[in-house]
Chain A
Amino acid sequence: MLAALAMALALAAEPAADRSFRATLSNGLGVIVCHDARAPYVAVRVRYHAGSVDDPQGRSGLAHVVEHMTYEGSTHVPRALRELVELELAAHTNNAETGFHATDYHWTAPPEALEHLLWIEADRMGFVRGQHGAATLAGVQRIVANERRERVEQDPFMGLQLQAIAALFPPGDPYHGAVIGAAEEVAAATIADVDAFLGRYYKPDNAVLVIAGRVPEETRRWIELYFGDLSASAQKGRDDGAREVRRTEETRVRAARPVGPAPAVLLAWRSPGLDADGDAAADVLADALSHGEFVRLARSDAAPQIARTRIVQQSEAGRSIFFMQAIGRRGATPEAMIGEIDRVLARVAGGELTEAAVRRARQRLVREHRTIAQDPQGRAAQLLAGAPCSPRTDDEVPDRAQWLAVTPEAVARVAGEVLRPNARVAVLAPGEAP
C-alpha cells in the first residue's frame, strides 16, 4: 500500500532534501509546502473551493453550516478526540472561515503536532459525510443562528452591510444572501443537504493543502499517507465571473434601524474581481483615502459632513465589492454626506489624488503584506494567493508587484469608471431623534 501511496504524489523535480515544494497529488489535491527554519511553529491551511456561491437555491448559508458540521467529528476522529489532540499537542488557531468562494480550515501548532493535524484534516476531507444525524444538525443550526444574531443582527452597522449586499446582488444571485445566509433558510437545511454539499465539494481535487513554517522532514510522507488515497471527482465550485451586470441607476435603501445619534451611510459598488485590471488600483485608492486623503479632498467652502470613514476593496474571485462606510457629524444628513463623498470621488477621477499620496499608499500596502508574512498563518494565506515561498524581491510576489505598478492615472480611472454614482447601492441611516 505504501508503494501505491508513494506513486500517488506527482512531485515537482526538486532536491530530495528540500522541504519546500509545490505538487499535485494524483487525486487532484494541490499541495504547497514552504519551510522556514527560523519559525518556531508550523501553520496548516486547507482550502476548499466551495463557499456561499455554491449554496443551493433556497439554502443560503449552507456552506457555513457545513463548515460547522465538520467540527462535529468524522469517521475516525470523533469531536472529543480531536479536542484532546488539540490540547495534548498545544495546537492553536484551530478555526475556519467560510467566504463567497472558498472555505478555509487552519491551525498553527508546534511542528511535532503536524502529523496529527494532517490526519485530522484528511479525515475531515474524506469522512464527515454520512456521520451525523438530524439531532447534531439541529444543535449546529442553533449555534449558527446565535452566530448570525451576534455578528449581524446585534450590530446595526453589520445590518447596513447586509442590506447593501442584498440590494447590490438581486434575488437569485449567489451573492444575494451574503455568506451567513437567511435565518429561515439556515433553519430549513437538512442532513441530506449537508451530505450532498460534502459529497460534491469536500474532495481532494477541489482543495489545496498549504503548510508553512517549521516543516518536519517527514512531511511529504505524511501527506502521501493521509491524503493520497482519498477519492477525487469533486464538482467544481461555481464560476460567476462572467455574469457581471452593468448597473445604470443608483439604488437608495433606507436602513432597517438607526445606527446612533449621528447619521451613517454605506455605499457599495461592484468592483474589479480579484487580480483583475483595476483591483490593485482600488486597493491603493481605499488605502490613500483612509490615510488622510479623504479629508484633504473633501475640503470645500461647505461645513464638513463626515466624521469618520471606513473604505475597503473587498476582493473576491468572482465580483469584488468596494465599500465606503461613513459616520456623519452631529446634525449632518445622509444626503449631504453622500454629496461629500461624490465630491471627493469626482476629484480623484479628475486626477487630484497626488503622486505622493498614491506612492505612500502603495508602500503601506506592500509593507503590510510583509508584516502579515511574519506569522506562519499569514504566510500560508499568502502562499494560497500565489506568493512564492522565498521571494527575493517584491516583484516576485504577485500582490506586491500589482500594487507597486499602480499609477495615479489607474486610481483616477477606478474612481471615474467603477465608482460612478449610478453604479452603486446607497444605504442611508438617519441619526436618531434626540
Chain B
Amino acid sequence: MRALIVGLSAALAGCGANHSWRSLPPALPEAGVVASDVPIEVATLDDGRPAYLVRRSGDTAVVGLALRTGPGIDPALASFALGLAARGRDHAVEDALGELGGAAEVRWLVDGAVLRAEVDAGAWRPALTVLERALREPEFTEADLEELRAERVAALQRRDGDPARVALHVLAGRVAPMHDPLGDDRAVETWTDGHVREVLSRLAGGARAGIVVHADARLDAGSRAAPSAVIARAAEAEVRSEIVVVPRPGLPQTAIALGRVVPAVDADASLAIEVAGVAVASALRDVLRRDRGATYSVALGYAPAASGGLLTIETQVETGALGGSLRAIVDRLRELQARFALGDQLSRVSRAIRVERVLACQRSETLADLVAGSFVAGRSTGELQDVLRGRGEVRGDAVQRAVRAYFEPARLQIVLVGDPERIAAQVGGLGLGPIRVLR
C-alpha cells in the first residue's frame, strides 16, 4: 500500500502539460493547521475556587461546574445524582434554564463530571447561579427520584438493545469501570434518597471550578491561579485470561469489542496514541470492510484519563464470518506490532488529528467539556491551549512505541455479543483464550 501512496504523491505533485485542467488536481498548497485563538483565563473566586473564562464570541454562552470526583466514587450513582440535581423538584431547575433558552446536561469525564448548560448569550450569569444552587442546595422529592430511576432503567434497556453499546459497557466494566456512567439496572433499583444526597454533598464539597464560555463575561476574580497537577498512573493492562460473551442469539451480526486500560500520559504521548489508533483503525477497516466484506464500520475509541484511560476497537461482523474476522483482527495487530512505520505519512496523520481536534472545538459546549476535563484531570490550561491552537509534536518512534505498548493483542480484553453456540464454534479453536458466557 505504501508504494501506491508514494506513486500517487508523485502524481499529485506533477502537472503534466498533456492533460486537461480537470484531469489533474490543482497544485497542492502548503497545508498547515489553522486554529482560532481562544484565550482561557483562570481566576480565583471569593470562595477560593477557580473559575475558567473562555473568550469565545457568539450568540450563545455555555456555563458549567466542573467537579473532580477522586477515586472511590460510583460513576453511575454520581451521574444519576447530578442528573437529579439538574432536573430539580418537579423539573424546577429544568424550567429555570428553559426560560434562558437552555437545558442542563451532565457529562461524565471519568476523573470527574461537568454539569453544564448552553443558554442565550446574555443569560450566562443567571444560568450559572441556577447551576450553582442546584448543586449546593439540591431539591427533589421521592417522586422525582422514582421518576428518574424509572427513566434510567429504561435508558439501560435502550442501551442493552444495541449490541455494540452492550459490548463496550461490558468491556469498560471489565477493564476500566470508571468509564461507565450508566452502570446496570440492579444497582439503580437500590439507590435511595440518602445515597443520592450523600454523593451530591461529596461532589459539592470537593474540588470544583466554574466555567464560562462567552466573549464578554466578567468574573469577580481575585488573583490568577492554576490547578495543581494530580495525574496518577493507572495499572498496566494484564494479559487476557478469557473471552467474554454476552448472549444475544438470533442477531445477523456479532458485536466485537476489544480494549484495555491506558495509563495517564503527557500530551505528546497522547497524540502518539491517537496517531497509532488512526493507523490501526485504517488497517483493520481495510481488512474487514474492503478485503473481507464482513463489516460496515470499524471504530477506534480513546478516552484518556488521569485515573486510567480506555482504548477500544469496536465492530460488528456477519455472524458467519466471526471466526475469520477475529483471526484477521489479531493477525493484523500482530503484524503491526512487528512491523509498523508510517513513513512520510506520519506528519500528515498528525496534522489531520490536530485539525480534527481544533474542529471539534467549534462548538462552545465542546470547549466547556475540554476545560472541565483539564480541570478534573489536573492538567494545566497550557496543554489545552496547545490543543486549541493545533500544536503538538509526534515522532515516528513514539507512534511505534504506542502501537507496541497499547495494541498488543494478548493484552486486549475481548467481548463478543451474539449467539454463544455459534461463537464457541468459530472462536473456540483460535487460541485466544477460554470463553466465558455471561448470564
The verdict on B48 contacting chain A, using a C-beta distance below 8 Å, is: no
Closest residue to B120 on the A side, CB-wise?
A367
Interface of B is mostly: mixed
Contact with B along A264-294 (1 / 0, CB 8 A): 0000000000000000000000000001100
Contacting residues, chain A, for B348 (C-beta < 8 A):
87-88, 90
- Out of A146, A262, A291, which one reaches B157, CB within 8 Å? A262
Among A56-103, those with CB < 8 Å from B are 76-77, 80-81, 84-85, 87-90, 92-93
CA distance A371 to B22 in the complex (A): 38
Q: Tell whether, in the assembled complex, residue B101 and residue A110 are in contact, meaning their CB atoms are under 8 Å apart.
A: no
- Out of B25, B160, B352, B355, which one reaches A81, CB within 8 Å? B25
Q: Tell whether, in the assembled complex, residue B253 and residue A149 are in contact, meaning their CB atoms are under 8 Å apart.
A: yes
The verdict on A253 contacting chain B, using a C-beta distance below 8 Å, is: no
The verdict on A376 contacting chain B, using a C-beta distance below 8 Å, is: yes
Contacting residues, chain A, for B26 (C-beta < 8 A):
115-116, 119
Closest residue to B363 on the A side, CB-wise?
A374
Closest residue to A156 on the B side, CB-wise?
B161
The verdict on A308 contacting chain B, using a C-beta distance below 8 Å, is: yes
Q: Tell whether, in the assembled complex, residue A292 and residue B8 are in contact, meaning their CB atoms are under 8 Å apart.
A: no
Q: Tell whether, in the assembled complex, residue A90 and residue B103 are in contact, meaning their CB atoms are under 8 Å apart.
A: no
CA distance A97 to B228 in the complex (A): 45
Contacting residues, chain B, for A361 (C-beta < 8 A):
98
Contacting residues, chain B, for A151 (C-beta < 8 A):
296
Q: Tell whether, in the assembled complex, residue B355 and residue A149 are in contact, meaning their CB atoms are under 8 Å apart.
A: no
CB distance from A302 to the nearest CB of B (A): 15
Q: How many residues of A contact B (CB 8 A)?
A: 73
The verdict on A113 contacting chain B, using a C-beta distance below 8 Å, is: yes
Among B276-326, those with CB < 8 Å from A are 289-290, 293-297, 316, 318
CB distance from A55 to the nearest CB of B (A): 20
- Out of A150, A225, A364, which one reaches B103, CB within 8 Å? A364
Contacting residues, chain B, for A247 (C-beta < 8 A):
none
CA distance A356 to B255 in the complex (A): 45
Q: Which of B59, B290, B362 has the most CB of A within 10 A?
A: B362
- Out of B22, B29, B250, B362, which one reaches A376, CB within 8 Å? B362
Contact with B along A101-137 (1 / 0, CB 8 A): 0000000111111011001001100000000000000
- Out of A92, A108, A111, A139, which one reaches B352, CB within 8 Å? A92
Question: With A374-B364, A375-B363 in contact, is A363–B154 under 8 Å at CB?
Answer: no
CB distance from B40 to the nearest CB of A (A): 17
CB distance from B165 to the nearest CB of A (A): 9
Chain A residues within CB distance 8 Å of chain B: 38-41, 76-77, 80-81, 84-85, 87-90, 92-93, 108-113, 115-116, 119, 122-123, 139, 142-143, 146-147, 149-151, 153-157, 214, 225-226, 257, 259-262, 291-292, 295-296, 304, 307-308, 327-330, 356, 359-361, 363-364, 366-367, 370-371, 373-376
Report, nearest first, the 5 A-B pairs whose CB atoms are least far apart: A360-B98, A367-B101, A292-B91, A308-B154, A375-B362
